[in-house]
Chain A
Amino acid sequence: MWRDAEQALTLIWLLSWTAHGVCHSPPGRPRLTRCRSPEKETFTCWWEPGSTGGLPTSYQLYYRKESSLEVFECPDYHKAGNNSCYFDKQHTSIWILYNITVVASNALGKAYSESVEVDVMDIVQPHPPENVNVTFMQTTNSPYFLVQWQPPHDADTRSGWVTIKYEVRLKIENSGDEEDSSWESYSAGKQLEFSIYSPQPGACYIVQVRCKLDHGLWSEWSPSSFIQIPDNMLDTQNAVMIIAITLTVIIFLLTAGALTVKMKPVKHFLLPPVPEPKISGLNTQLLKSGKSEEIFSALITPGYPQIVQSSDRQVEYLVVSDYDEEMDFEGKAHLEYQKGENHPTDNTQKGSQNSIKISLNSSQDLNTTLSENVHSGAVSNQLSVLGEPQQLLHLKCKGSPVKAQDRNTQMSSGSNCEHVSINPAGLTEYVEVDEDQKPLVREDYSMVSDVISDNILVLQDSIPVQGHKEVKCDKTSEAEETGGVFEPLGYLETLTTFSSES
C-alpha cells in the first residue's frame, strides 16, 4: 500500500515535471510583416515573432544586397521599437534589392523566417502632414473655411528627390445620427493650404489631410480637425436673395401687364406686317361685290388706247417726198404716211405724228415700216411717199384725188379720208391729207384686227377686203420720169390710224 502511494506520487510528480518541460521548444518561425521608407532615404522593417517555445528568444535580422553574397546584420534594432530593424542613410540604397531574413533563436534552436526581397522604391510611405488647422473666414459674399498644414518633418521637399502631393477630406459630423455622411475628398497638389467654399451654416465639419511621395503609398490620415460653422450667415445671404427675387417678380409682372394692354402696337413693332401686292386701280372690295364693269373701268388707265371721239379737226397730211438719193434699187417706193394736225405753217415740225413708211420695190414686196412720233398736242396725218422719181404716185382719197404736194409742203384734202389709196407714180412728195376724223367705232373693240403699237389699232372694215391703197400724185413742178417700168402695186392693207389724245 505504501509502495502504491509512493509510486502514484512519483508518477504524478514526474508527469507534472514532464509537462513543464514540453513547453520548451525551439522558436517558431518569425514573419516579416512590412518594410517602410518614409522619405526615400531610410527604411524600417517590422516582423512578427512566432511562438517563443517557452524560452527566451532573441531575434536577428540579416540581409543581403542584390548581386553580393555578403551578409549583414541589422544596424539598429531599437530605434523603431520592438521587433523592428531601422536602416539609416548609410545603410540604405535605392534601386537595389535587399534580401532580408529574420532569425529567431533560443536555447533549443533557431527558426528562420521566409526571405523577403525589398526595393526601397516600392516601400515609400510618408508620415501624415503635421499641424493641420482649420479657420473659418467670413467674407461678405462668399464665406469659406481654410485648411492649412505642414509637410511631415522628415520629408525633404526642397531638393527634388521626392515630390509630395496632398489630399484633403472632410465630412459633416452628425451627432446622434445613425447613418454617417460620407467623406468628400479633394486633391490639393503641392500646396500647403486649401479653401472650402460655401460651407453649410450651422454644421460641424471634420477635416483630415494625407500625403504621398511620387508613386509611393498614401500616408495615414492626419488626426481630425474640427470646425463649427456659425449660423448667422443665413440672414445676410438670404436677405439679399429675397430682395433680388422680389424685384425680379415685380418687374416681370409689370412687363406682362404692359404687354397685355398694348398688345397690338407692340406686336406691330416687333413683327411689322408684310405689305401685300396691290394692283393700282383694282379695288379688291369691288371684286368682292361682283360688279365687273366697274372693276374693269377702274383698270383702264388713261394711257390705254381708247376709241374716243376727237373733236379736233384732224388733218391728214399725205406727204409725198423725193428720196431718190436714198433709193438703192429700182422700183422701190418708200411710202411715208404721217398723220398730223393741219398746221401748214409748222409742218416742218413734226408734231404728233404717226408716220407709216411703206417701201415698195419691183418685186412687189411690200415693206411696211411704221414709224411714229407721238407728241402731245399737234396731231398730223401725213402720208409721204418715197419712191422712184419716175413713178408717179397718185393719191386718192375716197376716190377723189388728193392734192399732192411737195416734200415740204402740205396739202389738205377736203374730205375726210379714212381710206387712202396709193399708187406709186415715181414721185415723192408730201401730200397733205385733211381728214375729219370720225370715230369709226365707239368703244367697240370687236372691230380691232390688229394692234400695231401703243396708239395704233387696225380695224377691219365693212369695205371689201380688196381695199388697197393707191396713191397717185400729180407732180407739178418736178416731173422726173426716168421711164422705168413700174410694176403694179401690191396690195396694201387698209390702215387707219387714230390719233391719240393726250
Chain B
Amino acid sequence: MTQGSRLCFAVAVLMCAFVSINGVGLNDLLERASQLSDKLHSLSTSLTNDLDSHFPPVGRVMMPRPSMCHTSSLQVPNDKDQALKVPEDELLSLARSLLLAWSDPLALLSSEASSLAHPERNTIDSKTKELQENINSLGAGLEHVFNKMDSTSDNLSSLPFYTNSLGQDKTSRLVNFHFLLSCFRRDSHKIDSFLKVLRCRAAKKRPEMC
C-alpha cells in the first residue's frame, strides 16, 4: 500500500472506532429527549387550558375519575425518594411504556379534534397533531437511548387502549376528550420527570446538566 492509502486507512479505522464507541453521546441524547418531553408536557397543558376556556360546567360533573385512565395500572414511583431509588433502565422502560401506550389514544384524539363542539376547535386540532408528531420523535429518540444504554432486558409494559370512539353526543364527546387529555397530561409529566432524573444521573461529572 502506498503512503497515502495507508494514511487514509488509518484515519478511517480511527474514525470508525470513535464513532462506534461514542457516536452521539448518551448525554446529548438524553438532553434532546428531555427537551422533547418538556415540549410535550407544555403542549398538553396549553391544550387543556384551551379546552377549559369554554368548557360547559355540566361536563365537569360527568368527568370520569383519573383512576380510570388506561395507564393507571402501571406502577410508577410517587415521590422523589422512590424515584431516585429506581434503576436507570427501569426508569427508561417506564418512560417508554407510557409513551407507547399513548400512540393509539392520541390518534383517536387527533381524528376527533376537528369535529369537537368547541369554539377553539381549530387550535385544538393543530395542537393535537403537533402532539402526535412530538410523541413519535420522542419514541424514536428513546429507542436510541435504549440501544445506547446497553441494558439486558427490554421489559416494556403493555397498556392497551380499547376505546375507539369518544361517544355519541356532543357533550359526552367533549367530556371524554377532556378526560383523555387530562390523563395524557399527567403521563407526560411523569415521562418528563423520569427523563430528567435519567439525564442528571448520566451526567455525573457535569452538574450543569441537572
Asked if A and B bind, the verdict is: yes
Q: Which residues of B contact A479 (CB under 8 A)?
A: none
Which residues of chain A come closer than 8 Å to B42, judged between CB atoms?
215
A90 to B, closest residue via Cβ: B79
Chain A: CB-nearest residue to B208 = A190
> Shortest CB–CB separation between residue A98 and chain B, in angstroms?
12
Given A66-B66, A97-B66, answer yes or no on A159-B200 (Cβ-Cβ < 8 Å).
yes
A41 in contact with B210 (CB, 8 Å)? no
- Let me know if A436 is at the binding interface, CB within 8 A: no
Chain B 174-210, CB within 8 Å of chain A: the 1/0 string?
A: 0000000000001001101100111111000001101
Interface residues of chain B: helix, strand, loop or mixed (majority): helix
| B147 is an interface residue with CB less than 8 A from chain A | no
Chain B: CB-nearest residue to A40: B80
Residue A67 at the chain B interface, CB threshold 8 Å? yes
- Size range of the chain B interface in the assembly: 20 to 34
CB distance from A226 to the nearest CB of B (A): 30
A18-53, CB < 8 A from B? 40-41
Residues of B24-79 whose CB lies within 8 A of A? 38, 41-42, 45, 65-67, 72, 76, 78-79
A41-B80, A66-B67 known; A95 vs B190 contact (CB < 8 Å): yes
Q: Given the known A-B contacts A95-B76, A121-B186, A160-B199, are A67 and B67 also in contact in the complex, defined by CB atoms under 8 Å?
A: yes
Residues of B within 8 A of A93 (CB): 78-79
CA distance A41 to B41 in the complex (A): 20
Closest-by-CB residue of A relative to B192 is A214
Answer yes or no: B108 CB below 8 A from chain A CBs: no
Q: Which of A67, A95, A159, A163 contacts B78 (CB 8 A)?
A: A95
Q: Say whether A41 contacts B208, CB under 8 Å.
A: no
Interface size on A, residues (CB 8 A): 23
The listed residue (B38, B190, B200) touching A160 by CB distance below 8 A is B200
| A254 → chain B closest CB, angstroms | 55
B199 in contact with A95 (CB, 8 Å): no
Question: Is the beta-carbon distance between B79 and A92 smaller than 8 angstroms?
Answer: yes
Interface of chain A residues 59 through 114 with chain B (CB within 8 A): 66-67, 89, 92-97
Chain B residues with CB under 8 A of A160 = 196-201, 210
- Which residue on chain B has the smallest CB distance to residue A39? B80
| Number of residue pairs spanning A and B whose beta carbons lie under 8 angstroms apart | 63
Q: Which residues of A lie under 8 Å from residue B38 when comparing CB positions?
A: 214-215
- B84 part of interface (Cβ distance < 8 Å): yes
CA distance A215 to B190 in the complex (A): 12
B-contacting residues, A157-188, CB 8 Å:
157-161, 163
Is A156 close to B, CB under 8 A? yes
Q: In whole angstroms, what is the CA distance A319 to B189 when docked?
A: 119
CB distance A158 to B210 under 8 Å? Answer: yes
Q: Report B-chain residues with C-beta under 8 Å of the C-beta of A163.
A: 196, 210
Q: Which among A67, A190, A215 has the greatest number of chain B C-beta atoms within 10 A?
A: A215
Question: Which residue of chain B lies nearest to A161 when distances are taken between CB atoms in the complex?
Answer: B80
- How far is the CB of A87 from the nearest CB of chain B, in Å? 11
Q: Which B residues are in CB contact (< 8 Å) with A220?
A: none
**B79 cross-chain contacts in A, Cβ below 8 A:** 41, 89, 92-94
Give A67 to B64 CA distance when docked, in angstroms.
Answer: 12
- Report chain B residues within 8 Å CB of A67: 65, 67, 72
The minimal Cβ–Cβ distance linking A348 to chain B, given in whole angstroms, is: 69
Question: Is the Cβ of A215 less than 8 Å from the Cβ of B210?
Answer: no
Minimum C-beta distance from B127 to chain A (A): 16
Residues of A contacting B207 with CB < 8 Å? 158
- Tell me if B81 is interfacial: C-beta within 8 Å of chain A: yes
User: Is residue B107 contacting chain A, with contact meaning CB distance below 8 A?
Assistant: no
Is A119 at the interface (CB under 8 A from chain B)? yes
Q: Is B83 part of the contact surface with A, judged by Cβ < 8 Å?
A: yes
Query: Which residue in chain A gives the minimum CB-CB distance to B84?
Result: A159
CB-defined contacts of A159 to chain B, threshold 8 Å: 80, 84, 197, 200, 210
Chain A residue at smallest Cβ distance from B76: A95
State the Cβ distance, A459 to closest chain B Cβ, in Å: 80
Contact at A95–B189, with CB atoms within 8 Å?
Answer: yes
Given A66-B65, A159-B210, A163-B196, do A215 and B80 touch, yes or no (CB 8 Å)? no
- Selected from A41, A66, A92, A161, the residue in CB contact (under 8 A) with B193 is A161
Chain B min CB distance to A68 (Å): 9
The docked-state distance in angstroms from the alpha carbon of A157 to that of B42 is 21
B67 — which chain A residues lie within 8 A by C-beta? 66-67
- Cβ of A94 and Cβ of B78 under 8 Å apart? yes
Residues of A within 8 A of B66 (CB): 66, 97
Neighbouring A residues of B76 by C-beta, 8 Å = 95
Query: Is A119 a contact partner of B186 (Cβ separation < 8 A)?
Result: yes
Q: 9 closest Cβ contacts across the A-B interface?
A: A160-B200, A67-B67, A93-B78, A160-B197, A160-B210, A161-B80, A160-B196, A121-B189, A41-B80
Which B residues are closer than 8 A to A by beta carbons? Answer: 38, 41-42, 45, 65-67, 72, 76, 78-81, 83-84, 186, 189-190, 192-193, 196-201, 207-208, 210
Sample of 12 A–B contacts (CB below 8 Å)? A41-B79, A41-B80, A67-B72, A96-B78, A97-B66, A158-B207, A159-B80, A161-B83, A161-B84, A161-B193, A161-B196, A215-B192
> What residues of chain A have their CB less than 8 Å away from a CB belonging to chain B?
40-41, 66-67, 89, 92-97, 119, 121, 156-161, 163, 190, 214-215
- 15 further interface pairs, Cβ-Cβ under 8 Å (given A161-B196, A215-B38): A40-B80, A41-B80, A89-B79, A94-B79, A95-B78, A97-B66, A157-B210, A158-B207, A160-B197, A160-B201, A214-B192, A214-B193, A215-B41, A215-B42, A215-B189
